[in-house]
Structure 1
């Protein structure tokens, strides 16, 4: 992703207060280590699993 595209996307997300709040909360969670890492293979496997009812 180019810097210009990244800047435009970020500006768009921050232009709406609700989006900005969510983005800032997500960044804070990431910095605090509150995230889960998945490989593409793991994500694809999750996608194929049936949804529990």
Structure 2
């Protein structure tokens, strides 16, 4: 994921967390939904998500 894609993902991810909180979802639900989003992105871009090569 390049820097622009990462920035966009981070923004959308934060918006997702905010929306779930505003909807009154329980912490366990927010965690599960957020984990699903992260896993989905990791599946699509396995070499770059979560472990940047330096």
Say whether the fold is shared (TM-score over 0.5).
no
Q: Larger relative CO (CA 8 A, sep 6+): 1 or 2?
A: 2
TM range (shorter): 0.3 to 0.5
Q: Could you state the TM-score of these two structures normalised by the residue count of structure 1?
A: 0.37
